[in-house]
Structure 1
Amino acid sequence: MKKITMALSLVLFTVLGAFAQIEKPVTWSYAAKKVSSTEAVLYIKATIDDKWHIYSQNMQDGGPIKTSFTFSPSKDFSLIGKTIEPKAIKKYESTFKMNVSYFENAVVFQQKVKLNKAATTVKGKVEFMVCNDKQCLPPDEVEFSIPVK
């Protein structure tokens, strides 16, 4: 009897585990392009699954977590200005009871850097929140490392 109970428990946990997969509706990719011998542009792209969206960097307080970038300090480069983004979709969301700015499908953020060295690697992290019309996932943080050659 113990063997049957143990076998059934194992099957039950295996089946439940298959249904409880973690959703990851956003994938990130990175690239860099030198625009001169002392400057480069970093491209940070979010590819977003259908029916999901991430929020702009330019959000009011009291709403969803806005997308934010943190760059690790380095003597090899310095940031030029702020991270820029394309024009976002603006819409009232009843969940937050406010107008929000967000991106669907894909978005490319850009950051200019001044190079103090011919080749370097820019490291940092992006924090973001992803929602669809039924739910929001907890804010997530992804580390990145972008080679600049």
Structure 2
Amino acid sequence: MKILPVFLFAASIAMAGVTPKVTYHFEPNGFKGDSTRLVVHVRLPAGWHIQSNAPLDSFLIPTTVRAEGKDLAFGTALFPKPVEKEYPALGGKVALFEGEIDIKVPAKRNGTKVKPEVLKTVKVKLGYQACNDTQCLPPKEIEAVMESKSK
């Protein structure tokens, strides 16, 4: 019975190392008129990938990005073109993201003048399922208030 705790400990260490690093900034730096664009930068650990936002099979978990902030209205996230790779165990091609990607989210003022400090309180949520060539981990969502380059 000592094997199970050791296995669970090893599995938790492996899963902990698969969390992508997520940062964001605004383009341009703040607002141009009433709009701006949130750029979410995702860096994945080597050897791991996440499913695209539009997987080729319905059983795969899509990557999602949602943003929220006071006095701001966010549009639909715009994802880069995914890489398609062949995975015979999954029955064919899989659309995925690997390495580093930028996801762009349009944002508008919600009818009021947005103070610069409000941009620093934006919350970004990244939903994903991390996989490598032999396994997929359970779906996960990261929620954090990210530091903005806006002043």
TM-based fold match above 0.5: yes
Report the AA paired with residue 131 of structure 2: C
- 2:20 paired residue number: 27
Q: Is the contact between residue 30 and residue 42 of structure 1 (CA under 8 Å) also seen in structure 2?
A: no
- 1:103 paired residue number: 97
Q: Is the contact between residue 39 and residue 105 of structure 2 (CA under 8 Å) also seen in structure 1?
A: yes
Comparing both structures, which one devotes a greater share of its residues to strand?
Answer: 1
How far apart are 1:65 and its partner, in Å? 0.5
* Higher mean C-alpha deviation, range 29-38 or range 47-56: 29-38
How far apart are 1:133 and its partner, in Å? 0.6
- 1:79 paired residue number: 74
* Cα separation, 1, equivalents of 2:124 and 2:42: 15
Report the AA paired with residue 125 of structure 1: K
How far apart are 1:113 and its partner, in Å? 0.3
- 2:130 paired residue number: 130
Q: Is the contact between residue 56 and residue 95 of structure 2 (CA under 8 Å) also seen in structure 1?
A: no
TM-score under structure 2 length normalisation: 0.73
How far apart are 1:61 and its partner, in Å? 4.6
- 1:7 paired residue number: none
Aligned alpha-carbon RMSD (Å): 2.7
- 1:70 paired residue number: 66
1:1-40 matches, within 5 Å, as 16=6, 19-20=10-11, 21-23=13-15, 24-33=17-26, 34-40=30-36
- 1:92 paired residue number: 86
How far apart are 1:44 and its partner, in Å? 1.5
Report the AA paired with residue 145 of structure 2: S
| 1:42 correspondence with 2:38 | yes
Gaps of 5+ in 2: none
Change (3 A) 1:26 1:108: farther
**Could you tell me the percent identity over the aligned residues?**
24
Change (3 A) 1:18 1:98: closer
The structure number with the bigger radius of gyration is 1
Gaps of 5+ in 1: 1-11
TM-score under structure 1 length normalisation: 0.74
- Number of residue pairs aligned between Structure 1 and Structure 2: 136
* Higher mean C-alpha deviation, range 20-29 or range 129-138: 20-29
* Higher mean C-alpha deviation, range 18-27 or range 135-144: 18-27
